Chain A
Amino acid sequence: MNAEKYFDRVYEDLDKYLAIPVAMILLASGVLAFNYATQGEFLAKGTDFSGGSEIQLDIQGEFQNSDIEDAFASAGRPQAEALTQTTGNQTLTIIELPPPTINEEEASSLLSDAGYEAEVVGLRTISAAVSSQFFLQAQVAFLLAFTTMSLVIFIAFKNLTPSVAVILAAFGDIVFAAAGMAVLGIPLTLGSLAALLMLIGYSVDTDIVLSTRVLKRNRGELRDRVWSSVKTGTTMSMGGIAGFTLLYIISYLMVGPSELTNIAAVMVVGLLADMPLTWIGNAAILKKYSEGEFERLNKVEEVIPSWK
């Protein structure tokens, strides 16, 4: 079988292939660092976390999105961003405005003054004070989620090295998914935050399969145990990727870019990154571990004999 032969080749030279996940994490960190250097934040914050307004408009007639942005700019509301959302039977324009917030009447009269016949069909505004509190709570939730997942892994696998390998893979997934968000222009919103938190829990599934088969099973060659988990884990990841890709495509076609497409995109990017991180990164660490290379780490008690 071709896939198995290819796996054998990689498995033999796993150390060399370890460069792939390392490069992925470095690249993703680079993207985030570049964002931080140029924009002052790792990820662009959406309206939920930066404050401002998001207006969904049904505007009659022919126009370019830039015309609408200009209309807002000339009415003293610069930095408006307009995008098109096509739903089943109508095309809507979404305007994103930085704080201060705007209300329905102001938005309608601003556009009618600029000569557009527009109806406000959706409006979301959030003041800077509330959004900064949301952001603080989001960071707390993220820190707690990652810590809880790590504790579960440490308790389930007991030993330091395999646990750290799983947590590193999850960390890599999140960093890669965050870089993916930066590249694809997905802002950090409550929805994309939910997806990142989900990735913390979801992406460790494949690592748990791999670690369990490698560590808790004694029969068979190590290579066979890894290969069996690759087969199981890849099917799992592909199932998730297929499900979220379909969620992305269908919701994009039916209602255009929305919180659903953001969540789906983040999940797909994270699950794609999970495959090399698990099957090369985590597998390489576990292979070394099984071959006894990290013995010193796991026998810390011998370093401090007085404990015994």
Chain B
Amino acid sequence: MEIRDLLKEWRVWVLFISLIASTVMLAPQYETTDSGEYTISTSLDDRKSIEFSGGSRILLGLQSNATGEDLNDQVQQIERILGIRLSGSGFADTQVRSIDLGGGEQRIQVQTGSSNTTQLSQLISQQGSFEARLPIIVPDSKNFTIDETYNFQRENSSVTVTGPSGEIGTFEENDSFTADGTKLYFVNQTEDHARLEVTAYNGEEIIDVLSSQGRLESSGGGTQWSFQISIEQNAAERVRKIAQNYQGAIGGSLMLEDNRGPARLTYYVDGREETSLTVSSEFQNSVITRPSIQGGAESTEEAIDERDRLQALLQSGQLPVPVEVQSINQISSSLGGEFFTASIVSIIASLVAVGGVVYARYRDPRVVLPIIFTGASEIYILLGFWFSNFGTLSLSAIAGIVAAVGTGVDDQIIITDESTREKVESWSNRMKKAFFVIFTSAASTIGAMAPIVQPGLISLSVTASGIGLIGYTIYTRGTNLHYIGIGGLAVMVGLFTSSLEPSGTALQSIHQFAFTTIWGILIGITITRPAYAKTIEYIKQN
């Protein structure tokens, strides 16, 4: 074979075209940053997992008894709400998705480029029920008007509430009850008085969060934050009626009776007190549909975090069921960067090591160089086709690359050895044998890796193959009779694993390992190995 013939060979062309296409996909791009500096980036930069780029991944469990469709609805709702919360909170590169762990177990996964998991878990694990409450102080007896007037009688450790249509009930500390559709809470009591709270408005009555109206002000030793919200008309009217129960001064704040100080509006998220503030007496006179929410923190940074978190919570609304953090995976960007460098060096080193072994065996650079070149091409095409478009570069993907190179080099050794043997046999016969080994080993490796990604599908395939083997034996009237037993075993394994409702997402942290080896093998058997076989044919014949 002449070199000209080799260059005319379509298998070699397929390899070169794949290499050129990979180069195009991996080509560095120049970008200008906000500060006007030029940076060089490749499509791989966006495809690094948090193990390399730093960030966090949190798995949330639902505290829900729902199953089937109802559970799916809840999961979708939570996904949407958390998506809104995260986009409004300033976390970079956020991603929210539902995860099916198999066996009907659903989880929500939240991933971001930030490694501040404390702040992140606080934001996403809150159910987000919001209430703004005003106090009702009951010394011994007290009348309080919402839509109707209610009488509060304190006796021993309880308070009896009576409305226009009779007694509502007798309540103790930590009890809550409803009057006029408004929720009231018995917070605590002292010797002197009982303290109750009435909900002025809640999260569901907030129409909009006007985040553009946000303000930060330094005052004293800290920073005050505020932003406006828009509430429903009837909620605003309720606030005015409640405000009229307090003493007010023009231009001043609402005050409690008997010099008990200002009547503070307290914000609660998931029943936990967040912050409280004085209320302008303006609320007694007008229906204010755009109240502002305020708070304070020690530093500007904390003030911004607090404000953004509350804005995000109010914007997104309340989760249908409470959630809890079940798994956290967090890594700093500096550590991630070191892992990335180590991984790249490891891949190059393993390629060199394989080259050393191959050289020790053949001692012929004409054979060793094509093997190394083919191995390197496989990584390059894998990076260009798979990683720059679909895959994620993670630690397990790196191990997958090394494994794919390993199987690739194995196959080239098989081709090389087959090419040097039994010259009496035709070249194509020898290659047929080599490719029988290559395809069988590719099928077994892909078969071993696929259950990581698609266990459900593989369960079905195993069952189907089992039935196929039994059918084949019956059809051929007893050829390979042991296929009946093996087919029966396969059907049993397939049915058993299907009954466990297997889910590929449960093993998602090793998905990239499986994908990388599977794609590496596929690229090998379709692109690089045929080209290598032709090249070795040329080398052997010359």
Cross-chain contact of B395 among A56, A154, A160, A191 (Cβ < 8 A): A191
Name, among B59, B332, B489, the residue most crowded by chain A CB atoms within 10 Å (CB to CB).
Answer: B332
Would you give the 0/1 interface string for A211-254, flagging 1 where the beta carbon is closer than 8 Å to chain B? 01000110110000000100110011011101111110111001
Cross-chain contact of A152 among B331, B443, B497 (Cβ < 8 A): B443
Closest residue on chain A to residue B336 by CB atoms: A122
Contacts of B506 in A (CB 8 A): 133-134, 137-138
Cross-chain contact B396 with A136 (CB below 8 angstroms):
no
- Would you call B265 an interface residue if the criterion is a C-beta within 8 Å of the partner chain's C-beta atoms? no
CA distance A201 to B102 in the complex (A): 25
Prevailing SS type, chain B contact patch: helix
CA distance A80 to B164 in the complex (A): 62
Name, among B328, B436, B444, the residue most crowded by chain A CB atoms within 10 Å (CB to CB).
Answer: B444
Listed stretches A14-22, A62-70, A124-132, A279-287; interface member: A124-132
CA distance A151 to B102 in the complex (A): 25
- Would you call A193 an interface residue if the criterion is a C-beta within 8 Å of the partner chain's C-beta atoms? yes
Contacts of A126 in B (CB 8 A): 59, 326-328
Closest residue on chain A to residue B445 by CB atoms: A201
Cross-chain contact B481 with A133 (CB below 8 angstroms):
no
- On chain B, the number of residues with a Cβ less than 8 Å from chain A's Cβ atoms is 104
Cross-chain contact of B447 among A136, A148, A205 (Cβ < 8 A): A148
Cross-chain contact A122 with B437 (CB below 8 angstroms):
no
Cross-chain contact of B338 among A144, A148, A149, A254 (Cβ < 8 A): A254
Cross-chain contact A195 with B349 (CB below 8 angstroms):
no
Closest residue on chain B to residue A231 by CB atoms: B417
- Would you call B17 an interface residue if the criterion is a C-beta within 8 Å of the partner chain's C-beta atoms? no
Closest residue on chain A to residue B410 by CB atoms: A236
Number of A-B contacts (CB under 8 A): 316
Would you give the 0/1 interface string for A290-308, flagging 1 where the beta carbon is closer than 8 Å to chain B? 0000000000110010011
Q: How far is the CB of A101 from chain B (nearest CB, A)?
A: 7
Contacts of B352 in A (CB 8 A): 246
| Given A126-B326, A154-B483, A193-B510: A201 touches B448 (CB 8 Å cut-off) | yes
Name, among A129, A143, A144, A260, the residue most crowded by chain B CB atoms within 10 Å (CB to CB).
Answer: A144
- Would you call A272 an interface residue if the criterion is a C-beta within 8 Å of the partner chain's C-beta atoms? no
- Would you call B20 an interface residue if the criterion is a C-beta within 8 Å of the partner chain's C-beta atoms? no
- Would you call A200 an interface residue if the criterion is a C-beta within 8 Å of the partner chain's C-beta atoms? yes
Cross-chain contact B448 with A124 (CB below 8 angstroms):
no
Would you give the 0/1 interface string for A183-220, flagging 1 where the beta carbon is closer than 8 Å to chain B? 00000001101110110111011001100100011011
Cross-chain contact A151 with B481 (CB below 8 angstroms):
no
Cross-chain contact B422 with A219 (CB below 8 angstroms):
yes
Prevailing SS type, chain A contact patch: helix
CA distance A258 to B350 in the complex (A): 17
| Given A147-B462, A152-B440, A204-B441: A137 touches B326 (CB 8 Å cut-off) | no
- On chain A, the number of residues with a Cβ less than 8 Å from chain B's Cβ atoms is 93
Cross-chain contact B339 with A137 (CB below 8 angstroms):
no
- Would you call A273 an interface residue if the criterion is a C-beta within 8 Å of the partner chain's C-beta atoms? no
Cross-chain contact of B357 among A56, A124, A148, A242 (Cβ < 8 A): A242
Cross-chain contact A242 with B353 (CB below 8 angstroms):
yes
Cross-chain contact of A251 among B335, B346, B507, B513 (Cβ < 8 A): B346
Cross-chain contact B327 with A127 (CB below 8 angstroms):
yes
Cross-chain contact of B433 among A147, A150, A217 (Cβ < 8 A): A217
- Would you call B409 an interface residue if the criterion is a C-beta within 8 Å of the partner chain's C-beta atoms? yes
CA distance A191 to B479 in the complex (A): 41
- Would you call A121 an interface residue if the criterion is a C-beta within 8 Å of the partner chain's C-beta atoms? yes
Contacts of B497 in A (CB 8 A): 140, 143-144
Cross-chain contact of A250 among B59, B118, B342, B490 (Cβ < 8 A): B342
Cross-chain contact of A122 among B331, B447, B462, B502 (Cβ < 8 A): B331
CA distance A84 to B240 in the complex (A): 62
Would you give the 0/1 interface string for B409-442, flagging 1 where the beta carbon is closer than 8 Å to chain A? 1100110010001101100000001001100110
- Would you call A115 an interface residue if the criterion is a C-beta within 8 Å of the partner chain's C-beta atoms? no
- Would you call B356 an interface residue if the criterion is a C-beta within 8 Å of the partner chain's C-beta atoms? yes
- Would you call B402 an interface residue if the criterion is a C-beta within 8 Å of the partner chain's C-beta atoms? yes
Cross-chain contact B458 with A148 (CB below 8 angstroms):
yes
CA distance A211 to B211 in the complex (A): 71
Q: Which of B465-489 contact A (CB under 8 A)?
A: 465-466, 469, 477-483, 486, 489
Cross-chain contact A242 with B440 (CB below 8 angstroms):
no
CA distance A198 to B404 in the complex (A): 10
- Would you call B514 an interface residue if the criterion is a C-beta within 8 Å of the partner chain's C-beta atoms? yes
| Given A152-B447, A201-B446, A212-B437: A307 touches B326 (CB 8 Å cut-off) | no
Cross-chain contact A151 with B486 (CB below 8 angstroms):
yes
- Would you call B139 an interface residue if the criterion is a C-beta within 8 Å of the partner chain's C-beta atoms? no
- Would you call A12 an interface residue if the criterion is a C-beta within 8 Å of the partner chain's C-beta atoms? no
Cross-chain contact A247 with B507 (CB below 8 angstroms):
no
- Would you call B403 an interface residue if the criterion is a C-beta within 8 Å of the partner chain's C-beta atoms? yes
Cross-chain contact B101 with A247 (CB below 8 angstroms):
no
CA distance A159 to B483 in the complex (A): 9
- Would you call A255 an interface residue if the criterion is a C-beta within 8 Å of the partner chain's C-beta atoms? yes
Closest residue on chain A to residue B518 by CB atoms: A201
CA distance A151 to B447 in the complex (A): 9
Would you give the 0/1 interface string for A38-70, flagging 1 where the beta carbon is closer than 8 Å to chain B? 000000000010000000100000000000000
- Would you call A267 an interface residue if the criterion is a C-beta within 8 Å of the partner chain's C-beta atoms? yes
Cross-chain contact A301 with B478 (CB below 8 angstroms):
yes
Listed stretches B34-42, B249-257, B291-299, B449-457; interface member: B449-457
Cross-chain contact B436 with A219 (CB below 8 angstroms):
no
Cross-chain contact B507 with A144 (CB below 8 angstroms):
no
Would you give the 0/1 interface string for A96-118, flagging 1 where the beta carbon is closer than 8 Å to chain B? 00000101110000000000000
Cross-chain contact A202 with B406 (CB below 8 angstroms):
yes
| Given A125-B328, A251-B342, A301-B478: A235 touches B361 (CB 8 Å cut-off) | yes
Cross-chain contact B437 with A308 (CB below 8 angstroms):
no
- Would you call B244 an interface residue if the criterion is a C-beta within 8 Å of the partner chain's C-beta atoms? no
Cross-chain contact A212 with B433 (CB below 8 angstroms):
yes
CA distance A216 to B493 in the complex (A): 30
Cross-chain contact A258 with B481 (CB below 8 angstroms):
no
- Would you call A263 an interface residue if the criterion is a C-beta within 8 Å of the partner chain's C-beta atoms? yes
- Would you call B343 an interface residue if the criterion is a C-beta within 8 Å of the partner chain's C-beta atoms? yes
CA distance A239 to B61 in the complex (A): 44
- Would you call B407 an interface residue if the criterion is a C-beta within 8 Å of the partner chain's C-beta atoms? yes
24 contacts between A and B (CB under 8 A): A103-B121, A105-B118, A121-B334, A127-B327, A130-B101, A134-B507, A136-B500, A137-B507, A148-B447, A149-B447, A153-B440, A155-B469, A191-B399, A191-B510, A191-B513, A194-B396, A198-B448, A198-B449, A219-B425, A236-B414, A239-B358, A250-B342, A250-B349, A301-B479
Please report B residues at the A interface, Cβ cutoff 8 Å: 59, 61, 101-103, 105, 107, 117-118, 121, 325-332, 334-335, 338-339, 341-343, 345-347, 349-354, 356-358, 360-361, 395-396, 398-399, 402-403, 405-407, 409-410, 413-414, 417, 421-422, 424-425, 433, 436-437, 440-441, 443-452, 455, 458-459, 461-462, 465-466, 469, 477-483, 486, 489-490, 493-494, 496-497, 500, 502-503, 506-507, 509-510, 513-514, 517
In the complex, the 3 A-B pairs of residues with the closest C-beta atoms, listed nearest first: A201-B445, A307-B478, A148-B447
Please report A residues at the B interface, Cβ cutoff 8 Å: 48, 56, 87-88, 92, 101, 103-105, 120-127, 129-130, 133-134, 136-138, 140-156, 158-160, 190-191, 193-195, 197-198, 200-202, 204-205, 208-209, 212, 216-217, 219-220, 228, 231-232, 235-236, 238-240, 242-247, 249-251, 254-255, 258-260, 263-264, 267, 300-301, 304, 307-308
